[in-house]
Structure 1
Amino acid sequence: MSVRLKLTLSYVGFLMLAGALLLAVVWVFLLRYVPADAAITAGPSFPGRYDLWRAFAPPAAWALIFLLAFGLLGGWILAGQMLAPLSRIAVATRRVANGSLSHRIELEGRNDEFRELADSFDAMLARLEAHDAEQQRFAANASHELRTPLAITQTLLDVARNDPDRDTGALLERLRVVNARAIDLTEALLLLSRADRRSFSREQVDLSLIAEEAIETLVPFAEQNGVTIEPSGEVASAVGSRALLRQMTTNLLHNAIVHNLPEHGVVRLSTVTGPDSVELIVENTGEQLSPHLVSTLTEPFQRGTQRVRSGHSGVGLGLAIVKSIVQAHDGTLTLLPLAGGGLRVTVQLPTAPSDTGMSRPNP
């Protein structure tokens, strides 16, 4: 039985029950005016119970028959009107199953449960379409990025084969650099996939300690590039993967060092604790950035050549990995160009349920 038929029968059943109850109430009401000895005193001017029943039963039966027919017809029409939005949603679902993510229901009418369901379905389709387009761009860019070191390796090997007298030391060094880049790219892709799948265990983590670890790791690199790191902040307790949050912080700090002034650059790294969230803030000096350029920095492989120091361009996945890690931890990532040049990156994560047990160890 279809849902429409079930609804129709439900309407008919309810209507017949209500009609039968109404007729029963009328019959009981009529009996109040018929005395118990009506069978003896019944006459033309005062009918008995049997005569009353003979007069009442046929119209009551015809009334029930009318209610049955009216209920079937009216219930079928009403059920069809009620289920019409579901039919449109079913059509949209079949189109999505066939690969059409651009279709939208766009249900009009008043704001009821069906309208809310249709709007939620449209919003889901919009997210799926955007995600699918992003995945296609990512796959194309990843293929291009992986093909580049492989093509360079093939070229170097062809040159070495055609020129046996070529310096093998320089060739091996060049191959080592190209191979290291391919390895870095592959590891970045694996890390990005891990963050997207949220396949990690969660624990209570202090972002300020993770920031200190990242600073200790990158201080030599910062000094080599003439950049000063200025840490500050307080205990910032969050819940998540220590390894992924360390990678996120390291990527942000590395990015702030690389994309900085040619000399006397500054990176400010701080942690802030709020009532419901904790923040990791990384600011760096550098060139003036446009809002449009900033809005593209978290896209995979969008390096923004105007902001990259030569020799440290990376694989173009630093901020994309940061974005995925933040989303996997149910946080938000905000990029804001500074008026004097440079960038402020704010990572906001939900605070741990209770950080009373967390304390910073003595150095």
Structure 2
Amino acid sequence: MDRAPGLSVRVKLTLSYAGFLMLAGALLLAAVWVFLLRHVPDRAMLINPDDKPTGGVFPVRSALLDVFAPRAAAVLAFLLVFGLLGGWILAGRMLAPLTGITGATRMATNGSLSHRIRLPGRKDEFRELADAFDAMLARLEAHVAEQQRFAANASHELRTPLAISKALLDVARTDPNHDAGALIDRLHAVNARAINLTEALLLLSRADQRSFTREPVDLSLLVEEATETLLPLAEKHGVTMKTSGDITPTIGSRALLLQLTTNLVHNAIVHNLTEQGTMWVNTGVRPRTVVLTVENTGEKLSPELMSTLTEPFQRGTERIHADHSGVGLGLAIVKTITHAHDGTLTLTPRSAGGIRITVELPVTTAHADR
């Protein structure tokens, strides 16, 4: 936004300091003048007892004014010069931290997010501002790096099905005797995967922007719907599903929270033991939050791997494109939806193998007041 030029903050502070000093000096001189007027006449009458009161007081006041006024003017002139000079120096020292903050802001505007102010000294308003700005730069740098990694991974993931489709079409063109049915089936599978990946990316973007309508939602009902939908997949993988819990009222998007629940259940099924696996889904209510917990058996996970599972295109198992292997955005979508609903997501490895994932969301106001 274009603004009209004006006085700098340093000039304004200098004028404020000088003006305040002038006002204080004027008040002090006025107090001295009033004090003199109250005491000089009586003493003058004692020195000149033959004069009448009206003849002795006023000549003394006039003489006193002639002596006091020039000196008062000189004092005010000195205070003005001293106030301007001292105010300019003090304002410069007080505003010095803003120079570093302004420089860091300009560097960030030019694309450099690695610079930090690191303002020294004890905690004050400028130190709090600088620390807050450093924290903002750190978050922005991390966010930009995450977006760059996401864009690179998304490009790679989208390129893979396109490259496979091109290879299949090249084979079909060079080999007229190639089985057309098998080619169509493979192209259908590759195309379906590309569509699923695109829809997952759109869902991730929608949840991240929080562009959804909030309404009362019962997570326990969403758990029932998700487990019923994925029951055939669980039976195919030999996974036993166990659900329990109470009514869990919260506020949010039913579609997004259903996607969150479905992703968690799907993740617990496909990343389970190859034989006789088990998963548990539980909902509960706390004083201020509702909790959805999904737990499953499986391989033991290292802490290093646990910290990356919510990153886009990261998988707990090998990056294979097998049946229902997913596109690597399941837990990333869960994390984004959870944060968009002002909730928290916690991943904990089970000592016996597998993982426990807990989603905590705000409870409805009416339920919290009970």
In 2, Cα distance between equivalents of 1:284 and 1:38: 108
Distance 1:227 1:91, change over 3 A: same
Structure 1 gap segments, 5+ residues each:
359-363
Give the match for residue 179 of structure 1.
Answer: 191
Q: Which runs of 4+ in 1 moved over 2 A?
A: 34-39, 304-312, 355-358
Q: CA deviation at 1:35?
A: 3.0
Deviation per CA, 1:167-192, whole angstroms, max 9, x where unpaired?
10010001000000000000000000
Range with bigger deviation, 132-141 or 58-67 = 58-67
Range with bigger deviation, 85-94 or 117-126 = 85-94
What TM-score, normalized by structure 2, do the two folds share?
0.93
Partners of 1:259 and 1:307 within 8 A in 2: no
* Residue in structure 1 matching 2:148, options 122, 126, 136: 136
Structure 2 gap segments, 5+ residues each:
1-6, 43-51
Partners of 2:244 and 2:282 within 8 A in 1: yes
Is 1:98 the counterpart of 2:104? The answer is: no
- Secondary structure of 1:35's partner? helix
Same amino acid, percent of matched pairs: 69
Partners of 1:287 and 1:307 within 8 A in 2: no
Deviation per CA, 1:106-155, whole angstroms, max 9, x where unpaired?
11111111110110010000000000000000000000000000000001
Range with bigger deviation, 252-261 or 300-309 = 300-309
Deviation per CA, 1:175-222, whole angstroms, max 9, x where unpaired?
000000000000000000001111101011111111111111111111
Give the match for residue 89 of structure 2.
Answer: 77
Give the match for residue 15 of structure 1.
Answer: 21
What is the total number of aligned residue pairs between the two structures? 355
Partners of 1:259 and 1:309 within 8 A in 2: no
What TM-score, normalized by structure 1, do the two folds share?
0.94
Is 1:189 the counterpart of 2:195? The answer is: no
2:338 partner letter: V
In 1, Cα distance between equivalents of 2:69 and 2:176: 114
Q: CA deviation at 1:307?
A: 9.5
Is 1:332 the counterpart of 2:332? The answer is: no
In 1, Cα distance between equivalents of 2:20 and 2:365: 51
Give the match for residue 41 of structure 1.
Answer: 56
Aligned pairs (5 A) from 1:22-61? 22-35=28-41, 40-41=55-56, 48-61=60-73
Distance 1:38 1:53, change over 3 A: farther
Q: Aligned-pair RMSD on alpha carbons? A: 1.9
In 2, Cα distance between equivalents of 1:30 and 1:322: 82
In 1, Cα distance between equivalents of 2:315 and 2:53: 102
- Secondary structure of 1:228's partner? strand
Give the match for residue 361 of structure 1.
Answer: none
1:285 partner letter: T
1:41 partner letter: G
In 2, Cα distance between equivalents of 1:38 and 1:110: 64
Partners of 2:271 and 2:317 within 8 A in 1: no
Q: CA deviation at 1:357?
A: 12
Deviation per CA, 1:55-78, whole angstroms, max 9, x where unpaired?
211221111111001100110011
Give the match for residue 62 of structure 1.
Answer: 74
Deviation per CA, 1:60-98, whole angstroms, max 9, x where unpaired?
111111100110011001111111111211111111110
